[in-house]
Amino acid sequence: MKITMAHGSGGKATSELISRIFAANFKNPVLSAMEDAAVVPGAGTLAVTTDSFVVTPLFFPGGDIGRLSVCGTVNDLLMSGAVPQYLTCGFIIEEGAESDDLERMARSMAETAREAGVTIVAGDTKVVEGGGGVYINTSGVGFVPPGRRVSASLCREGDAVLVSGYLGEHHAAVLSARMGIENRIRSDCAPLGEAVESLFQNGVRVHALRDATRGGLATVLNEFAAASGCCIALREESLPVSAPVSGFCGILGLDPLYMGNEGKFAAVVDREDAEKALAVLKASQYGENAAVVGSVVPGEAGTLLVRTSIGGTRIVPELYGEGLPRIC
Amino acid sequence: MLKVQEFLKQYDGEPMRIMEVCGTHTAAISHSGIPSVISPKIRLISGPGCPVCVTVTSYIDRLVSLSMEPGCAVVSFGDLLRVKGSARSLNDARALGGQVRMVYSPMDVLKLAAAEPEKTFVFAAVGFETTAPVYALLLGEAVRAGLENIRLLTSLKTMPPVIDWVCAHQGGIDGFLAPGHVSVITGSDLFEPLARKYSIPFAVSGFEPEQILISLYALVRLRGRGVVKNLYPSVVTARGNVQAQRLVSRYFEPCGAAWRGMGVIPNSGIRLRPEFARFDAGSAELTQDRGFHSACRCGQVLTGAISPHECPLFGRACAPQTPQGACMVSTEGSCYQYYVNRRD
């Protein structure tokens, strides 16, 4: 079935689209009530976030826009120390989209939500003119357990910097799909609940957390350095990059430090807990290639440095504009 | 390797100025932090080897106006989109409704041209000896497939004449880190006449930090001697890739070329041969070079006459977010690299 403007009319076609594809996949008592707003139990400190997902192609090696839209919002909640609970989703569908594709996306969202332990409690669908594209917005709510406080501004001199696995996989997978390059690279798109929660459960003193999405690890660590007024130094040879991504970057002139991930995060932890944090991450799902990549050092506030393999030092600035591949 | 690094760190002889000609070398030097591990008496300066940086403003202006023509689309690599012409960049043109497509390989034009036969696709063919064979391949394919809606706007340049120009006009350079990628195509012998003419050593270098350090070591050791050392023998031979050279000369012939801030240098470029002129989008007349900003000193930066810091715009009006000159646009440009890595 092709999506037409009628599916966005608010009439029968709309309700059929919703019940057949979205309600069927996201089924739960709150959503099935089909009220204008979800009324859910809860108390304590709330974390709330929203994100919109625009990706070409909609299906790529290792994931799809549906999985991405759940992981992105769930991971944002996790990075504030929250336990994610509820999601809402809004679909903007261009006419000409295939309902089979929507079905695949919805199924993928439902599976990912189950994996992440969240419930999709509200949703919306709009159909617009266009060429079959799909855009998804998700908002999320989570609860921050008492006594937990993580913030980009809490990095202190001596703290260790960890990253939860290989860098640049999502960016390289999507770019490969766009460019029609065949390789083994798959998106790392994943919900990070188990990894993050296990840090807290094992008593690691976590100061700052952030998922390294658009702009990559370099962007996240520059944000930490700026927010905490500190200097962060990375060791080049400790940065985890898989051989296929490393080769891909070499050919295109891309830097894995700036490439987007959808299932990796940076954690700044108390120096004494570095080894424990590494062991916990390595034992967690999606964390087998975690590494301690650097530390907070004395130096110019707001600066990210890399100690290179030949013993040199370079500054890693924020990304200026788009990361454009070079010419030669 | 440790001995090489120790030598370069402890070097206390005559001050040396070594020019890396290729933009990829400039980026690799910054990336690996080489200036921080060698003696301050060895000064590395960046040369005119970033293809985006040496592009004149009339070339960008022509691309901008082509992108606004009905039935016409400009196809370009990403780096070029942000370079300002005398008024606008291709990015600006796109925001104003201009047709600009970014691609990763020139061969992508073939697909575009086949899919939309009623539209003319103009490829912004910039580059050096390294990139020219790909444009030759593209033309070969276009001819074979009978695609008549592809044009090239060429700004293709060759290395030896501009190195000659720098030595003749600038002087004070004690060694050249010769471009590795260019040499794969041309062969290392290409630099022999220049080495002899100016009694300056050339080291053909790879791009790994260790390869660059070894090349610098060789250049310091060979100071004052007009010799060429091929230190990238895994991919560079004395005569180069003869097949690629033949392919290029089938479609292109030498011509004078305009360089940003340097003017027209005789025989420093290549253009389409007359029998393929129908594929040209009017490249010949593009020699005007009116800076977007009158105080921009890209030309002197590109020839090593001044360091980026000596340009009055550097770090003030001109920064990566607000580039005024091409050297600040490309990630391989000297000004960009000096700015983001805070090189002295």
Domains along chain A?
5-36+44-144 (3.30.1330.10), 152-315 (3.90.650.10)
List, in sequence order, the alpha helices (H) in B154-269: 159-169, 180-186, 192-198, 209-221, 242-251
> What are the boundaries of each domain within chain B?
57-157+242-279
Please name the member of A179, A311, A327 whose beta carbon is closest to the beta carbon of B79.
A327
B146 CB-contact burial (10 Å; exposed 0-12 / middle 13-18 / buried 19+): exposed
Q: What is the structure's pLDDT at A328? A: 39
CB contact under 8 A, B33 and A324: no
Give the DSSP H/E element, type plus range, for residue A196.
Answer: helix A193-201
Task: Check CB contact of B51 with chain A, cutoff 8 Å.
Answer: yes
Q: How far is CA A57 from CA A62, A180, B264, in A?
A: 12, 11, 45
Instruction: Give the model's confidence band at B292: pLDDT under 50 very low, under 70 low, under 90 confident, else very high.
Output: low
Q: What are the chain B neighbours of A312 within 8 Å (beta carbons)?
A: 32-37, 209
| Residues with pLDDT less than 50, chain A | 324-328
Please name the member of B33, B81, B332 whose beta carbon is closest to the beta carbon of A312.
B33
B269 with B162: CB under 8 angstroms? Answer: no
Which fold is adopted by the domain B57-157+242-279? Answer: Rossmann fold (3.40.50)
Please name the member of B81, B181, B321 whose beta carbon is closest to the beta carbon of A320.
B321
Averaged over B114-126, what is the pLDDT? 96
Q: Which residue of B has its CA nearest to A312?
A: B33
Tokens describing residue A74: 């769930």
C-alpha to C-alpha distance for A22 and B145, rounded to whole angstroms: 47
Q: What are the chain B neighbours of A315 within 8 Å (beta carbons)?
A: 340-342
β-bridge partners, A92 = A126, A135
B19 with B166: CB under 8 angstroms? Answer: yes
pTM of the predicted model, to two decimals? 0.82
Q: What is the structure's pLDDT at A325? A: 47
Question: Pick the residue with more confidence: A296 or B30?
Answer: A296
| Residue tagged 């020699």 (tokens) | B287
Q: Which of B7, B9, B32, B322 is the best substitution to test chain A (most A C-beta atoms within 10 A)?
A: B32
- State whether ipTM is beyond 0.90: no
Pairing of strands A265-269, A160-163: antiparallel
Please name the member of A309, A320, A328 whose beta carbon is closest to the beta carbon of B128.
A328
Residue type, B288: Q
Residue B72 neighbours by CB distance under 10 Å: 18
Tokens describing residue B303: 């020839």
Q: Which residues of B39-70 are buried (b: 16+ CB within 10 A; e: fewer)?
A: beebbbbbbbbbbbbbbbbbbbbbbbbbbeee
Q: What is the CA radius of gyration of chain B?
A: 20
C-alpha to C-alpha distance for A236 and B81, rounded to whole angstroms: 31
B209 with B177: CB under 8 angstroms? Answer: no
pLDDT tens by residue, A140-180: 999 999 988 899 999 999 999 999 999 999 999 998 888 88
C-alpha distance from A72 to closest chain B C-alpha (Å): 27
Q: What are the chain B neighbours of A314 within 8 Å (beta carbons)?
A: 30-33, 36, 341
C-alpha distance from A252 to closest chain B C-alpha (Å): 8
